Amino acid sequence: MNFIKRNQSLNFVIFFFLFSLVVTIASELAMGLFSTSFVKVLGKTMMLCLAAIALDLVWGYCGILSLGHMAFFALGGYLIGMWLMYERTKEIVISAASEQLIPLTPEETKEAIGNQIFGVVGGSDIPIIWIFADSLIIHLLLIVIIPGLLALVFGWLAFRSRVTGVYLSILTQAMTLALSLYLFQNDSGLRGNNGLSGLQNIPGYGNITQDVISVIFLWLSTFALCCGFYLASIITKSKLGNLLVGIRDDEARVRFLGYNVELYKLLIFVVTAIMAAVAGSLYYPQAGIVNPTELAPIASIYLAVWVSIGGRGKLIGAVLGAAFVSLISSFFTSGQIPNIDFWIININWVDWWLIILGLSFVSITLTTQNGLFGLIEKVKERVINK
Amino acid sequence: MKRFFIFVGVMLFASASVASDKDLREFIWTNKASFHKSSSKTISPVIDSLLKLNSGGTEKFLLRWLNKELWFRKSDGLVVTAKKLEKKSYKIFDVIDEQLIEVIDKKKIKQIKPNSGVRAIISSALVQFQLLNADPSIRSKTLDSIARKPDERFRVPLRKAIEIENNLKIKNRMIRLEKLLTVRFEKNISQRVEVIRSLKNDLGIDVRGVLNQIIRTALKAEKVIPDNINISQILEPEKGAIDQYDFLETNHSSTIDGSFTDLDAYLMLVKEEKAPEILTQKKLKDILTQQAEIGNIKREEAHSLDSYYKRNSVLNRLIENGKVEPVVSREDMKNIVAQYVFYEEYAESSREVTNAATETLNLINNRVSVFSFVDLILEGLSLASIYFLAAIGLAITFGVMRVINMAHGEFIMMGAYSGYVVQLFVTNYTLSIVIAIPVAFLVTFFAGIVMERLVIKKLYKRPLETLLATFGISIALQQLAKIVFGTQARPLTSPEWLDGALIFNEIISISWIRVAIFVLSIAFTIILIYVLNRTRFGLETRAVTQNPSMAASMGVNPDQINMFTFGLGSGIAGIAGVGIGLYAKVTSELGNDYIVQSFMTVVVGGVGSIWGTLAGATLIGFLQKLIEWFNPSNTLAAQTYMIIFIIIFIQFRPRGIVALRGRAAGD
């Protein structure tokens, strides 16, 4: 009992392993209880949980409310999406040209790909940022490098000038807005508001059906989530974790103790940005499409709200919040619940759900400081005390 | 004696008129067939000679013809006007003196219906009469139509009309239009040049259009330049582009930077079929595919041709074997280009005219760019006032009270919708705006107070959670508005006196709504500065925000002051909503567009100071317009660079432009 209680991350891994096993058995591959799209929803939810863990680390433990982590998340999606879309289009182009007497030269292939991908934004040249799009390995590295670099530069600028608290939140929100506005342009080189699409197909494995792909991504997501959780729990239990909590509670005091506060803040900001980007790179192949609306500042606020509802400062709380709110949201907005006629108002849940959600943010923020997880703990305590 | 002369004059005039009436009738009778069924090709000479008759009745006749009021009798083809008498019988009248001719069965007459081409010719013939019309609005409309379709034959009637025109405004327009027509159609070169030079102070876009048309050039290539042509410049193709030309490129575009290279020259010759095509990848592939189809290339070999070099070697082999014609080489291309002279030729043949037009156009363009800059400053001012208006409420709730209110944008939205609802009940737009402003204030004032009591009050010590809670309120309010008002944009109509624009000249103008927003911003600044610095309430507000417990010990009720301050900030957001609603479309997502910018404005300006917010809005507004000026096609990019600038700006002034010092700064 003691062992189980102490080793939280092992419990976490076992739980999610069993969960994925159950889902796999129930999926269309075996029993057919869960539809492919539902398996994808579960996989996507896990990646949102990973993003929530990242935000919890930086906010719940270090006190930096970043409203930019969903931007890193979407950036990860864009980076994997570039490879997926490029390679997939290449396959289509080559198979379309296989009828011709003379095969395509590399230059012709490139031009045809350019036409296919950028035709919608009125271009045909492949922008320079797509230069590595044919290499999975480089793009996997870029998922780490680019969001990490962005977080490094931005964080360095922000922390150096001692922007803290609410001001930092607004600044990160501005960064997110700038990035999303930039991507909305047609000449951003990433297809403007069309975004990248067709990401659910894996290049080179065109014959694998979606039900298999969904399960593969479920397991990848499980693996990533468990790794993320493990990493996060190592960080929080280490000396670094104590320092982060110290910075959260009284930054000046930690600074006076001789620590380079900015360095630690920067470190955790960059690490969590990369975590969010990795989560995004597994999320968007399951979603199938990534576009600039995913980067809108509101997405990052939602993430913060999930963490807050789940209980910040507790890793499990973040996971709980993200999973609970995003699943219940997709349940309410799926249109499965019948509408209710109430007095003169017709309650259409798809519309009214947002109002319920908004008001529950308010009430949860007001009533509990530790969110759902805190509530569960309290209930547990009472039961044990009795 | 005098009277006698007048009498004689009138008699003479009348007799002349009568005589030409007769002529007109005769003319119509002889040309009746042309009127019965007319086509735009055949009718012009008839109308020209009709105009030459110069009869008093011509205008009336043309008008009737245009309005399909003319009929003709089938028996002899007499052109008449008709009036319906009973079901099937018509009265017909003479076209000129309107005397009743007879009552006739409907079957025996036919209406004349000129087609649209003919109607256009008729109306242009009518121009000379309409220019002399007694109604100034008709004269003015006629000038509009001449400006739309300038034609040489309007010049004479215009000159006549100028002489007798007594409305100064219309007269000036006529003179200007006549000048433009002269510039375009005058045959006498010195007169034309003189008129062109006289236009140098005119900023009108039509003037620039006409002048640009004169100096339009066409790029031409000949072996020897023909004599007697008006050349703008001889172009020397820049050498080197052919050498650098990459045959691997699948499609080549001419250089963008404006220089004229030998490759451009060659491509132009290809287009004019004066030189053989370049062997592009596409053409190479076409040739090889064709050769593979006829069997000159073996199938297996064709399948292996997956690079340019392999294809090229096969092509060379085919050329050596004489199966394909040799392709043009770099040397050939250069030699061909060297044989030609490239020059830009003016469409206008007179050198003096093109010179005068170029000089005048340069003068005009210089003035235009100066005025455009002034206009840019005006636009920046206007954008700044919009940002200021959006941020001013936040300057109080966030700036003074340090409450992060993410629902601020929704208060703006509520204000705009209050205006919309008021307009549903009050149809007089002026009155409804006057009512809407206090209504919007009250609605958002109470909404703010309710929110402060229920939510914000409990979170004063936890600013980050205020952010989340107010965000929750924001999405709930937004969705509520969507349910109540629907997703489509609702109009908030401005009163008539705000329609249109304040026009200084052709370049500088600003819409009255933007002027009104500007005035509103100024008014807000003054009122708020007064309230915060000069009233008891302002003093108490500042005291409470700086040190609530000290303020409380001095007998101020911090609880109450916070409530009213927040209400004031929200109420002001509501009024701002009415102003913004007049200029932007009112949707439930109206607030989203302003919330981040508003926070930026307050942060850049310096938290805690109305002056700071003003400075922040000015900086952001002007900078955004300036960035847009450099890259006018892309407002999104402008906003992106703007935000990046703000992030960097905060590096250097973390506390904003107007930084509070001492205890007031707090932390």
pLDDT tens across A11-47, in order? 888 888 999 999 888 888 888 888 888 899 999 999 9
Say if CB B628 and CB B618 are below 8 A apart: no
Q: What is the DSSP string of B61-110?
A: HHHHHHTT-EEEETTT--EEEEEE-SSSEEEEEETTT--EEEEEEGGGEE
Asked whether the predicted pLDDT for residue A5 surpasses 80, the reply is: no
Tell whether B23 and B67 lie within a shared domain: yes
A178 contacts on B by Cβ (under 8 Å): 639-640, 643-644, 647
- Cβ of A157 within 8 Å of Cβ of B482? The answer is no
B464 contacts on A by Cβ (under 8 Å): 65, 165-166, 169
Tell whether B564 and B516 lie within a shared domain: yes
Tell whether B114 and B135 lie within a shared domain: no
Asked whether the predicted pLDDT for residue B10 surpasses 70, the reply is: no
B313 contacts on A by Cβ (under 8 Å): none
Choosing from B529, B552, B587, the residue where a domain stops is B587
Q: Is residue B363 part of a domain?
A: no
Read off the pLDDT of residues B48-90 as tens digits, 9 standing for 90 and up.
777 777 777 777 788 888 888 888 888 887 888 888 777 778 8
Chain B closest-CA separation from residue A342 CA (Å): 14
Tell whether B300 and B393 lie within a shared domain: no
Closest CA to A180 of A278, A70, A48: A70
Rg (CA), chain A: 22
Task: Decide: residue A286, CB within 10 A, 0-12 exposed, 13-18 middle, 19+ buried.
Answer: buried
- Cβ of B459 within 8 Å of Cβ of A161? The answer is no
Asked whether the predicted pLDDT for residue B571 surpasses 80, the reply is: yes
Q: Is residue B230 part of a domain?
A: no
For residue A103, the 8-state DSSP code is: P
Is the model more confident about B110 or about B248? Answer: B110
**How confident is the model at residue A46, as a pLDDT?**
94
Tell whether B96 and B190 lie within a shared domain: no
Q: What is the mean pLDDT of chain B?
A: 82
* Residue of A121, A350, A365, A369 for testing the chain B interface, max B β-carbons within 10 Å: A365
Q: What are phi and psi of B444, to 5 degrees?
A: -75, -30
Chain A closest-CA separation from residue B581 CA (Å): 23
**How confident is the model at residue B415, as a pLDDT?**
93
Read off the pLDDT of residues A269-290 as tens digits, 9 standing for 90 and up.
999 999 999 999 999 999 999 9
B431 Cα distance to chain centroid: 31
The stretch B23-27 carries a mean pLDDT of 79
Per mean pLDDT, which range of A41-45, B5-9, B537-541 is the poorest?
B5-9
**How confident is the model at residue B247, as a pLDDT?**
64
**How confident is the model at residue B7, as a pLDDT?**
45
Q: Is residue B387 part of a domain?
A: yes
Cβ-based neighbours of B38, under 8 Å, separated by 6 or more: B46, B114, B115, B118
- Cβ of B289 within 8 Å of Cβ of A102? The answer is yes
- Cβ of A181 within 8 Å of Cβ of B285? The answer is no
Tell whether B439 and B500 lie within a shared domain: yes
**How confident is the model at residue A232, as a pLDDT?**
93
Cβ-based neighbours of B628, under 8 Å, separated by 6 or more: B634, B635, B638
Q: Is residue B434 part of a domain?
A: yes
Which DSSP helix (H) or strand (E) runs through A125? none
Tell whether B111 and B201 lie within a shared domain: no
What percent of chain B has a predicted confidence (pLDDT) above 70?
A: 93
- In angstroms, rounded to a whole number, what is the distance separating the alpha carbons of residues A305 and A362? 10
* Residue of A66, A100, A101, A339 for testing the chain B interface, max B β-carbons within 10 Å: A101
The stretch A80-105 carries a mean pLDDT of 87
Read off the pLDDT of residues B478-496 as tens digits, 9 standing for 90 and up.
999 988 888 888 888 888 8
Q: Which of B458, B473, B637 sits opposite A185 (nearest CB)?
A: B637
Question: Residue A358: how many CB atoms within 10 A of its CB?
Answer: 22
With CA atoms as reference, the chain B residue closest to A154 would be: B647
Choosing from B327, B342, B362, the residue where a domain stops is B327
Asked whether the predicted pLDDT for residue B6 surpasses 50, the reply is: no
pLDDT tier at B161, thresholds 50, 70, 90: confident
Tell whether B110 and B136 lie within a shared domain: no
A181 contacts on B by Cβ (under 8 Å): 636-637, 639-640, 643
Choosing from B195, B214, B233, the residue where a domain stops is B214
With CA atoms as reference, the chain B residue closest to A184 would be: B636
pLDDT tier at B4, thresholds 50, 70, 90: very low
Q: Is residue B161 part of a domain?
A: yes
Q: Is residue B242 part of a domain?
A: no
Asked whether the predicted pLDDT for residue A263 surpasses 90, the reply is: yes
A:B CB pairs within 8 Å:
164
- Cβ of B647 within 8 Å of Cβ of A104? The answer is no
In angstroms, the Cα distances linking A293 to A50, A177, A300, B581 are: 20, 10, 11, 25
Chain A closest-CA separation from residue B433 CA (Å): 30
**How confident is the model at residue B270, as a pLDDT?**
85
Biggest CA-to-CA distance, chain B: 114
- Cβ of B482 within 8 Å of Cβ of A103? The answer is no
Tell whether B141 and B101 lie within a shared domain: no
- Cβ of A105 within 8 Å of Cβ of B281? The answer is yes
Tell whether B314 and B294 lie within a shared domain: yes
Domain that holds residue B508: 378-587
Q: Is residue B485 part of a domain?
A: yes
Q: Which of B458, B463, B637 sits opposite A165 (nearest CB)?
A: B463
Tell whether B535 and B583 lie within a shared domain: yes
Listed ranges A97-106, A148-157, B294-303, B468-477; the one with the highest mean pLDDT: A148-157
Closest CA to B621 of B390, B463, B406, B320: B390
Closest CA to A45 of A321, A297, A357: A321
Here the tokens at position B519 are: 């005035």
Tell whether B92 and B185 lie within a shared domain: no
Q: At what angle do helices B610-630 and B635-652 cross, to 10 degrees?
A: 130
> Phi/psi class of residue A383: alpha, beta or left (left: φ > 0; alpha: ψ in -120 to 50)?
alpha
The stretch B348-361 carries a mean pLDDT of 86
The stretch A112-131 carries a mean pLDDT of 84
- Cβ of B468 within 8 Å of Cβ of A355? The answer is no
- Cβ of A308 within 8 Å of Cβ of B648? The answer is no
- 3-state SS of chain B: helix, strand, coil percent to 5? 65, 10, 25
With CA atoms as reference, the chain A residue closest to B480 would be: A355
B458 contacts on A by Cβ (under 8 Å): 366
- Cβ of B250 within 8 Å of Cβ of A103? The answer is no
Q: Is residue B265 part of a domain?
A: no
- Cβ of A106 within 8 Å of Cβ of B281? The answer is no
With CA atoms as reference, the chain A residue closest to B456 would be: A366
pLDDT tier at A234, thresholds 50, 70, 90: very high
A165 contacts on B by Cβ (under 8 Å): 463-464
Tally the domains of chain B: 4
B455 contacts on A by Cβ (under 8 Å): 362, 366
B312 contacts on A by Cβ (under 8 Å): none
Q: Which of A157, A170, A354 sits opposite B599 (nearest CB)?
A: A170
With CA atoms as reference, the chain A residue closest to B246 would be: A107
Q: What is the DSSP string of B375-402?
A: HHHHHHHHHHHHHHHHHHHHIIIIIIT-
With CA atoms as reference, the chain B residue closest to A172 would be: B647
Q: Which amino acid is at B279?
A: L
- Cβ of A102 within 8 Å of Cβ of B285? The answer is yes
- Cβ of A102 within 8 Å of Cβ of B600? The answer is no
A107 contacts on B by Cβ (under 8 Å): 248-250, 281, 308
With CA atoms as reference, the chain B residue closest to A346 would be: B483
Q: Which of A105, A154, A357 sits opposite B306 (nearest CB)?
A: A105
Chain A closest-CA separation from residue B248 CA (Å): 7
Chain B closest-CA separation from residue A333 CA (Å): 13
What percent of chain A has a predicted confidence (pLDDT) above 90?
A: 38
**How confident is the model at residue B246, as a pLDDT?**
67
Chain A closest-CA separation from residue B643 CA (Å): 6
Q: What are phi and psi of A371, to 5 degrees?
A: 65, -160
- Cβ of B302 within 8 Å of Cβ of A351? The answer is no
The tokens 């969507």 sit on which residue?
B482
Burial A333-353 (b: 16+ CB within 10 A, else e): eeeeeeeeeeeeeebebeebb
- Cβ of B644 within 8 Å of Cβ of A178? The answer is yes
- Cβ of B293 within 8 Å of Cβ of A163? The answer is no
Q: Which of B304, B479, B596 sits opposite A177 (nearest CB)?
A: B596
For residue B114, the 8-state DSSP code is: -
Q: What is the mean pLDDT of chain A?
A: 87
- Cβ of B480 within 8 Å of Cβ of A177? The answer is no
Q: What are phi and psi of A345, to 5 degrees?
A: -100, 135
Read off the pLDDT of residues A158-208 as tens digits, 9 standing for 90 and up.
888 888 777 888 889 888 988 988 898 887 888 888 899 888 888 888 788
